[in-house]
Amino acid sequence: MKSGYVALIGRPNVGKSTLLNYMLGEKIAIISDKPQTTRTSILGIKTTDRGQIVFVDNPGIHKPLHKLNKRMMSFVYSSLETADLVNLLIDATQKFGHGDEFVMETLKKISTPIFLLINKVDIIKKEKILLIIDHYKELLDFKEIIPISALRGTNVDVLEDRIYEFLPEAEKIFPDDEKSVQSQRFLLSEIIREKLLSHVKQELPWVTAVYIDAMDDDQERFSQDRPSPEQKPKKFIKATIFVEKDTHRRIIIGRHGQIIKAIGTEARMEMEKILGEKVFLDLWVKVKENWRDKADVLDLIEGQ
């Protein structure tokens, strides 16, 4: 029996969460084309007859500017310290830059075995992949270099085989039927944030956060905007979207409330699939100046 922790790391938007979801066969982490979508370490657990792989999807490695970003990087460093194996993902379509140099300098400080996963090889030429491999071989002693497509699953089976070769012999860490340790409230808040990210642009993805204020089956606990009796939804969810400026609030609400309505509709539909029951979602947008540097707000969001 092989079991252990595998840290998924890399720059923002290289496909870490996409790979996690593909490996587990279901959605554990939200997906967005916006940088810094993942803000905390998300555990995804894959159990097979061979053992158990505990994937740790981490925020993208970057130089932090706010308390929020410093916390994000603390999750990365903690994951690197505790992992049995590190998987570094890079985007094969992007040029090597200062951000990549920062990642490589970070990895040179650890002794844990490291795999290099060259992602998005389904959309680039083979000649370019070979050039990338040659370049990275000179930078670090990778135990394996595997070209993959996290979206299409190319070579993901090969990756899993190699992971088991490097994991220690150990008993399973989690029960067989467990796939994630994140709370339901966290998952639902992330779904709202994912839909929000798909509807906003520019700086807004960095200055928004979502908190689930209440989840209840009792309609009477919600004093405002209750559904009509004929709708009869079973799950009532009230959530707050935090922003830093009133201009951000107006953008998210949109003209005549069109954007917040679209966010709520898309989030509610996905929640209903996950929960298996009808949902009434009550969304509010609240201005909290400089919330990214306020410990009480960060604690509130992380603790849900």
Hey, where are the domains in the chain? 2-166, 184-302
Residue closest to 148 by CA, chosen among 72, 90, 229, 227? 90
Please answer whether residues 10 and 61 qualify as being in contact, where contact means their C-beta atoms are separated by less than 8 angstroms. yes
The pLDDT of 213-238, averaged and rounded, is: 65
CATH superfamily, domain at 184-302: K homology (KH) domain (3.30.300.20)
What does the pLDDT read at residue 225? 52
What does the pLDDT read at residue 108? 93
What does the pLDDT read at residue 31? 86
What does the pLDDT read at residue 205? 61
Spatial distance between the Cα atoms of 180 and 278, rounded to a whole number of angstroms: 23
Confidence of residue 106 (pLDDT cuts 50, 70, 90): very high
Helices (H), the chain: 16-24, 67-82, 98-107, 126-137, 156-166, 184-199, 246-253, 258-275, 295-302
Lowest-pLDDT range, 21-35, 48-62, 277-291?
Answer: 21-35
DSSP class of 214? E
Query: Residue 33, Cβ neighbours under 10 Å: how many?
Result: 9
What does the pLDDT read at residue 97? 93
Number of H helices, E strands in the chain: 9, 9
Please answer whether residues 69 and 78 qualify as being in contact, where contact means their C-beta atoms are separated by less than 8 angstroms. no
Q: What is the dihedral of CA 222, 226, 230, 231, to 10 degrees?
A: -90
Residue closest to 35 by CA, chosen among 251, 204, 212? 204
Alpha carbon 128 to its chain centroid, in Å, reads 28
Residue closest to 3 by CA, chosen among 181, 144, 174? 174
Average model confidence (pLDDT) for the chain?
90
Spatial distance between the Cα atoms of 52 and 2, rounded to a whole number of angstroms: 6
Confidence of residue 226 (pLDDT cuts 50, 70, 90): low
pLDDT value at 10 more than 60: yes
257: left (phi over 0), alpha (psi -120 to 50) or beta: left
Fold of 2-166: Rossmann fold (3.40.50)
What does the pLDDT read at residue 217? 63
The pLDDT of 270-295, averaged and rounded, is: 92
Confidence of residue 300 (pLDDT cuts 50, 70, 90): confident
Give per-residue pLDDT as tens, 113-130: 999 999 999 999 999 999
What does the pLDDT read at residue 223? 47
Confidence of residue 39 (pLDDT cuts 50, 70, 90): confident
Spatial distance between the Cα atoms of 289 and 245, rounded to a whole number of angstroms: 6
Confidence of residue 146 (pLDDT cuts 50, 70, 90): very high
Portion of the chain with pLDDT greater than 70, in percent:
92
Residue closest to 210 by CA, chosen among 219, 202, 220, 200? 200
Residue closest to 114 by CA, chosen among 103, 124, 122, 130? 103
The pLDDT of 76-82, averaged and rounded, is: 93
pLDDT value at 185 more than 80: yes
The pLDDT of 151-172, averaged and rounded, is: 96
Q: What is the dihedral of CA 105, 108, 109, 115, to 10 degrees?
A: 120
pLDDT value at 176 more than 80: yes
pLDDT value at 42 more than 60: yes
What does the pLDDT read at residue 127? 92
pLDDT value at 228 more than 60: no
Spatial distance between the Cα atoms of 207 and 69, rounded to a whole number of angstroms: 11
Single-letter code of the amino acid located at 183: S
pLDDT value at 299 more than 80: yes
